[in-house]
């Protein structure tokens, strides 16, 4: 039984934290549509009978009716594919949600907060969804598989093996518990990093976010394509996003001024289909004005520059000053000589001390 498993598309998200670059949010929202078109085309070309969407399909706060209509029109193009959606914490099944008030195509099946099952000829699909922006009330403990001889799939959005208090508010699921329930495949969403094929015949799977939402989601993004037989799972990750996010670090320690820094950044070889964040590190010998630096950069795919540098102090000169700062530096330098293994800790102490003394 073939299927496609996606999650965390976040249609119509604002992308406000990605960059202050004008228009990029609009471009990424178009990229979301392009990615979903690719998924639908793949399903048509490969006669995929099932599409599992494991939550956060759209952003409740920002989603437009026109986007929902666009999605549903694409669903009409795959009438022989059964589509199952488990609402997540960003697209919960609430009174005014489009899951509740929109008339979806006949092949679309949306789970509410009560765990239920859609019985198909060749398999049973169990699932449930968020009914609020937090959810802790699943009743998996009392669930028994009705037809154990069939292929049984569970579709849900939640935190696998959640350990911290925050993640426990997003439908915490124990991996061992859910495997022991006897499902042949558990299609999850919520975690934006893919989790699949990390052990033989892996049943519990995250496809990751379909389209990268920013620089905390590096690498390729796409969908899981699978084939299920009783007791056998075959999975493949298929990249879908036409862009990738990459962080490049530049050590400024030996750079003399802002113009030299801009020249170095501009001379880097860049790929057209990659968005770049430039992370400045090291000890700076000059003041870094990010506004001015951005105006000197010529590559439009550099969408963020972050300054993580620290000032390069002349410790020998400062240690000779008859000041509180001079005495402080002299003491730190003495400790560095006595305890070379603690140099990093002492350097951090210097930075903190200078911040306090310079106020």
Written as one string, the DSSP assignment of 224-259 is EEEEEETTEEEEEEEE--S-EEEEEEEE-TT--SHH
CATH number at residue 194: 3.60.21.10
Q: How many CB atoms lie within 10 A of CB 193?
A: 13
Does residue 20 have a pLDDT over 70? no
198 shares its domain with 266: no
100 shares its domain with 192: yes
Amino acid 165: pLDDT: 64
Amino acid 203: pLDDT: 92
Does residue 359 have a pLDDT over 80? no
Residue 83 pLDDT grade (very low, low, confident, very high; cuts 50, 70, 90)? very high
Which whole-number Å values give the CA distances from 224 to 60, 75, 174, 209, in the listed order?
24, 18, 21, 11
Amino acid 5: pLDDT: 98
Q: Which of 85-99, 151-165, 201-215 has the lowest mean pLDDT?
A: 151-165
- Over residues 108-120, mean pLDDT: 92
Does residue 350 have a pLDDT over 90? no
Quote the number of domains for the chain.
3
Q: Who has greater pLDDT, 181 or 101?
A: 101
Which whole-number Å values give the CA distances from 217 to 208, 244, 272, 278, 307, in the listed order?
9, 9, 18, 15, 20
64 shares its domain with 130: yes
How far is 345 from 356, CA to CA, in rounded Å? Answer: 17
271 shares its domain with 122: no
- Over residues 193-199, mean pLDDT: 90
129 shares its domain with 262: no
Winning range, highest mean pLDDT, from 81-90, 195-204, 321-330: 81-90
pTM as predicted: 0.86
Mean pLDDT score across all residues of the chain? 89
Strand 82-85 to strand 50-53: parallel, antiparallel, or no bridges (unpaired)? parallel
Amino acid 148: pLDDT: 87
- Over residues 158-182, mean pLDDT: 75
Amino acid 120: pLDDT: 86
Does residue 277 have a pLDDT over 70? yes
Amino acid 25: pLDDT: 87
Of the residues 239, 269, 288, which one is the last residue of a structural domain? 239
Does residue 28 have a pLDDT over 80? yes
Residue 163 pLDDT grade (very low, low, confident, very high; cuts 50, 70, 90)? low
Amino acid 217: pLDDT: 92
Strand 123-127 to strand 116-119: parallel, antiparallel, or no bridges (unpaired)? antiparallel
Of the residues 239, 265, 289, which one is the last residue of a structural domain? 239
279 shares its domain with 292: yes
Residue 122 pLDDT grade (very low, low, confident, very high; cuts 50, 70, 90)? confident
Q: Who has greater pLDDT, 21 or 180?
A: 180
Amino acid 221: pLDDT: 96
259 shares its domain with 229: no
Domain boundaries, position 323: 315-357
Looking from the CA of 352 toward its CB, the CA atoms found within 13 Å total 7
Phi-psi region of 130 (alpha: psi -120 to 50; beta: other; left: phi over 0): beta
307 shares its domain with 319: no
173 shares its domain with 289: no
Does residue 300 have a pLDDT over 90? no
Does residue 6 have a pLDDT over 70? yes
User: Under 8 Å CB-to-CB from 13, ≥6 apart: which residues?
Assistant: 29, 59, 62, 213
Q: Who has greater pLDDT, 328 or 208?
A: 208
301 shares its domain with 254: yes
190 shares its domain with 266: no
- Over residues 241-269, mean pLDDT: 94
Does residue 19 have a pLDDT over 80? no
253 shares its domain with 323: no
């Amino acid at each position: 039984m073939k299927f496609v498993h996606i999650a965390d598309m976040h249609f119509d998200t604002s992308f406000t934290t990605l960059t202050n670059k004008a228009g990029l949010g609009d471009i990424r929202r178009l990229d979301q549509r392009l990615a979903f078109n690719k998924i639908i085309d793949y399903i048509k070309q490969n006669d995929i009978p099932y599409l599992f969407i494991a939550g956060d399909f759209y952003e409740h706060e920002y989603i437009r009716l026109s986007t929902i209509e666009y999605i549903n029109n694409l669903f009409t193009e795959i009438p022989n594919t059964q589509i199952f959606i488990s609402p997540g914490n960003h697209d919960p099944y609430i009174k005014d949600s489009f899951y509740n008030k929109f008339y979806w195509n006949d092949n679309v099946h949306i789970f509410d907060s009560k765990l239920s099952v859609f019985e198909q000829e060749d398999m049973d699909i169990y699932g449930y969804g968020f009914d609020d922006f937090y959810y802790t009330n699943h009743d998996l403990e009392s669930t028994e598989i009705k037809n154990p001889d069939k292929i049984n799939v569970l579709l849900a959005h939640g935190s696998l093996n959640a350990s911290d208090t925050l993640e426990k508010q997003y439908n915490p699921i124990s991996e061992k518990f859910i495997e022991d329930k006897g499902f042949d495949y558990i299609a999850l969403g919520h975690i934006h990093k893919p989790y699949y094929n990390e052990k033989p015949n892996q049943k519990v799977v995250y496809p990751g976010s379909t389209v990268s939402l920013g620089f905390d989601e590096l690498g390729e993004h796409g969908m899981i394509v699978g084939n299920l037989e009783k007791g056998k799972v075959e999975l493949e990750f298929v990249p879908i996003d036409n862009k990738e996010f990459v962080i490049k670090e530049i050590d400024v320690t030996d750079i003399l001024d802002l113009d030299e820094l801009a020249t170095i950044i501009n001379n880097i070889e860049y790929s057209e289909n990659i968005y770049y964040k430039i992370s400045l590190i090291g000890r700076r010998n000059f003041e870094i004005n990010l506004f001015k630096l951005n105006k000197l950069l010529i590559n439009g795919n550099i969408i963020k520059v972050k300054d993580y540098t620290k000032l390069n102090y002349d410790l020998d000169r400062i240690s000779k000053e008859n000041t509180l700062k001079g005495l402080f530096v002299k003491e730190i330098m003495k400790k560095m000589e006595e305890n070379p293994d603690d140099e990093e800790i002492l350097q951090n102490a210097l930075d903190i001390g200078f911040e306090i003394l310079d106020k």
